């Protein structure tokens, strides 16, 4: 049996070591989000929405136009405010400049306008204290992407690989990621993860590709009538990882991982 405490300590050391080497260019204004053109800035903002699970205010600042503050939880947008130095947590948390999200097209228009005018954009996250409005579904990055990029053939992927891994953890029994940020990593059940790691050692680089398959694809091996996990292998942008999950989660798994190819 592996020593969990030693593993945790080693992992923490790696994280701290990698943090020391990261050059994000943080400043008082936050993390730079500067991209070359408006479309890239839009995609970066949608990605920020898609990667925000816990309730946060995402504040986008720049030198040319006012702040843009997005109220986000569970990867969905629940509020938009614009203006110079917008503060959301006043009184009941309603700012004067808040924009209704009932109309996705108008929200998309606000984001588009901000990205068209702004050049160097920085993002800061703030913990939101006020309660989410009841009965509001919010807008996902995919909803906004459809509004922003519809017909242009440039729709952003609904989710990134990292987001898919995070979503997948809900139903995965174990994940082996040979190219994780901190090196090869097992998530979930250690014993099952080690089986996946052994598979990766034996068959990790061998890709099942021919002219009928995209280099980016997934393969699942499953039997619904047996008490054994289904196995998924993901190929994406030269990276591959393995997932073990309950066979009755097959459709959820396909839905989760199909999104990275959108």
Least distance in angstroms from the C-beta of 156 to other proteins: 13
Least distance in angstroms from the C-beta of 227 to other proteins: 9
Q: Is the dihedral of CA 122, 131, 76, 254 positive or negative?
A: positive
Do 51 and 163 form a contact (C-beta atoms < 8 A)?
Answer: yes
If one asks whether residue 85 binds other proteins (CB under 8 A), the answer comes out as: no
Q: Which is nearer to other proteins, 149 or 261 (CB)?
A: 261
Q: Which helix (DSSP H) or strand (DSSP E) does residue 190 occupy? A: helix 190-203
Encoded tokens for 240: 């591959």
Least distance in angstroms from the C-beta of 164 to other proteins: 13
Footprint of other proteins on 202-221 (CB under 8 A)? 202-203, 206, 208, 210, 212-214, 216-221
183-202 footprint of other proteins as x/- string (CB under 8 A): ------------x--xx--x
Q: Which is nearer to other proteins, 52 or 163 (CB)?
A: 163
Measured distance CA(164)–CA(102) in Å, rounded: 27
Measured distance CA(198)–CA(22) in Å, rounded: 31
Do 128 and 69 form a contact (C-beta atoms < 8 A)?
Answer: no
If one asks whether residue 262 binds other proteins (CB under 8 A), the answer comes out as: yes
Give the other-Cβ count within 10 Å of 74's Cβ: 12
Helix, strand, or coil (residue 124): strand
Encoded tokens for 71: 């109220």
Q: Which is nearer to other proteins, 48 or 167 (CB)?
A: 167
Q: Which is nearer to other proteins, 36 or 210 (CB)?
A: 210
If one asks whether residue 134 binds other proteins (CB under 8 A), the answer comes out as: no
Least distance in angstroms from the C-beta of 123 to other proteins: 29
Give the other-Cβ count within 10 Å of 189's Cβ: 16
Kindly give the interhelix angle for 104-117 and 141-149, rounded to the nearest 10 degrees. Answer: 70
| Residue from the set 42, 231, 241, 256 that interacts with other proteins by CB under 8 A | 231
Interface residues toward other proteins, by CB under 8 A: 195, 198-199, 202-203, 206, 208, 210, 212-214, 216-226, 228-231, 233, 244, 248, 250-251, 254, 257-258, 261-262
């Amino acid at each position: 049996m592996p020593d969990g405490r030693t593993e945790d300590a080693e992992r923490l050391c790696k994280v701290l070591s990698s943090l020391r080497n990261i050059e994000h260019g943080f400043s008082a204004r936050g993390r730079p989000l500067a991209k070359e053109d408006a479309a890239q800035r839009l995609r970066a903002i949608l990605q920020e929405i898609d990667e925000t699970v816990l309730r946060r205010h995402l504040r986008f600042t720049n030198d040319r136009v006012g702040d843009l503050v997005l109220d986000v939880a569970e990867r969905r947008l629940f509020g938009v405010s614009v203006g110079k130095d917008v503060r959301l947590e006043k009184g009941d948390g309603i700012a004067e400049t808040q924009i209704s999200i009932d109309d996705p097209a108008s929200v998309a228009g606000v984001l588009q306008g901000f990205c068209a005018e702004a050049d160097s954009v920085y993002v800061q996250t703030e913990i939101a204290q006020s309660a989410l409005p009841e009965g509001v579904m919010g807008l996902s990055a995919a909803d906004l992407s459809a509004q922003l990029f519809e017909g242009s053939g440039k729709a952003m992927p609904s989710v990134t690989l990292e987001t898919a891994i995070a979503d997948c953890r809900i139903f995965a029994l174990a994940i082996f990621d040979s190219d994780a940020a901190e090196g090869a990593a097992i998530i979930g059940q250690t014993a099952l993860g080690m089986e996946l790691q052994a598979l990766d050692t034996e068959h990790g680089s061998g890709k099942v590709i021919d002219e009928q398959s995209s280099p980016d694809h997934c393969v699942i091996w499953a039997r619904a009538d047996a008490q054994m996990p289904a196995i998924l292998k993901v190929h994406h942008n030269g990276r591959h990882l393995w997932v073990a999950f309950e066979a009755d989660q097959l459709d959820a798994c396909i839905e989760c991982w199909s999104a990275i190819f959108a």
